[in-house]
Homo-oligomer: A and B are copies of this chain.
C-alpha cells in the first residue's frame, strides 16, 4: 500500500515536471466529490439525546483528574476545535509534543490521532482522558464521580438503558457529539455544486495550482481533502520532543519514520498554527514550507521536491484554501449538572 503510493507519487511528480502545465484546467470537471453525509457506526447509532450528552461531557472539567481540564480546553469551538497553540498543553500546564488536531470532520477519518493509533472516535475519546500528560483521569474514578451526579445518572440511563455510566458509554456519547461537528457549505462546496460565482478568479487559479503545479492533491485529496495516509514531509522538530517518529511508533515500519496523518484542509483558516507540531503560523508559511521542499531534506518521499511557485501563485493558493472554510460552526454551551 505504502510502496504503491510512493511509486504513484513519484510517477505524478515526474509527470508534473515534464508537463509544466496544470494537470487540471478550470474547464474540466473538478476531481472532488462532495462531502458525504456523516455515517454513524451500527454499534453507536445517532440520537439527539446521545449527542447532547456527549456535548455535556465534552465541556465538563470533571472528566479530568484535576477537574479543571475539559476536552474543549484543547479542542475549543471558539478556536476551530483546536487551541491556537503550536503544541497543546496538558495536565500540570505542561506543553505536549504535538498540535491539538481539530475535531472538525474527524468523523470522516478512518483512524484518529496524528499517528493513527486509534481506530475509532470512541477509542480516541478515552485516550486523552486517561493520558497522564493530558487529562490524567482514572476511568473507574470517573465513573464513580459521574455516578454521584444525579442528572448524569438519569441521562446515561435514558441514552444507554441499564448499562448506564461506563467508560465505553462515555466514549460513545462524546464520539456521537464529535460526529456532528462538520464543516459544511464552504465556498468551494458551493462552487463544486455549480455556483460558479462562489469562488473568485484568484481562488479558482489557486485551485488549479493546488491540483497541478503545487501537487497538494497528491495527499490532500478526496471529499475531506485527505488521503487518510501518513507521510514524512520533513517538518523540523520543535517543542519538548527532540524527535518524534510519528506513525513509526505504531507500525514499526521504517517508511513510517517521521510520518504523520494528512490532516483535512477543510475549515483550515480556523485551525492555525499548522503541522503536527504547530511550526507554521500561517497558511502562507505552510505554502513557503512546501515551496522550499520542507525543512528537513532526508527520508522524504519525492513529492517534497521544491515547487518553484511565484508570489502570485502562492497568494492564489491561499485564496483557494480560504474557500475551504465552511459555514460558522456555532456551539451553544451546555448547562452542566
Which of B79, B89, B333, B334 lies in contact with A336, CB distance below 8 A? B79
A77 at the interface (CB under 8 A from B): yes
Q: Is the CB of B333 within 8 A of A333?
A: yes
Query: In the complex the two chains form, is B332's CB within 8 Å of A332's CB?
Result: yes
Q: What residues on B are CB-neighbors of A73 within 8 Å?
A: 68, 73
Chain-B contact segment, one of A10-18, A59-67, A180-188: A59-67
From A60, A62, A79, A331, name the one whose CB has the most chain B CB atoms within 10 angstroms. Answer: A79
**A328 to B83 Cα, complex, angstroms:** 27
Q: Mark A77-120, 1 if CB is under 8 A from B, else 0.
A: 11100011100010111000000000000000000000000000
Q: How far is the CB of A317 from chain B (nearest CB, A)?
A: 20
Residues of B within 8 A of A91 (CB): 93
Interface string of A302-337 (1 = CB under 8 A from B): 000000000000000000000000001011111110
Nearest neighbor of A64 in chain B, beta-carbon distance: B93
Which residues of chain B have C-beta atoms less than 8 A from A270's C-beta? Answer: 335
The CA-CA distance from A62 to B76 in the complex, in Å, is 13
Interface string of A253-290 (1 = CB under 8 A from B): 00000000000000000100000000000000000000
Kindly provide the distance from the CB of A279 to the nearest chain B CB, expressed in whole angstroms. Answer: 16
Q: Complex: how many Å from CA A14 to CA B266?
A: 70
A270 to B73, CA, bound (A): 21
A62 to chain B: closest residue by CB:
B84
Closest residue on chain B to residue A330 by CB atoms = B332
Additional 20 contacts, C-beta under 8 A, given A68-B93, A333-B333? A60-B78, A61-B76, A61-B83, A62-B84, A66-B93, A67-B84, A67-B85, A73-B73, A78-B334, A78-B335, A78-B336, A79-B336, A84-B336, A91-B93, A270-B335, A328-B335, A330-B335, A331-B332, A331-B333, A332-B332
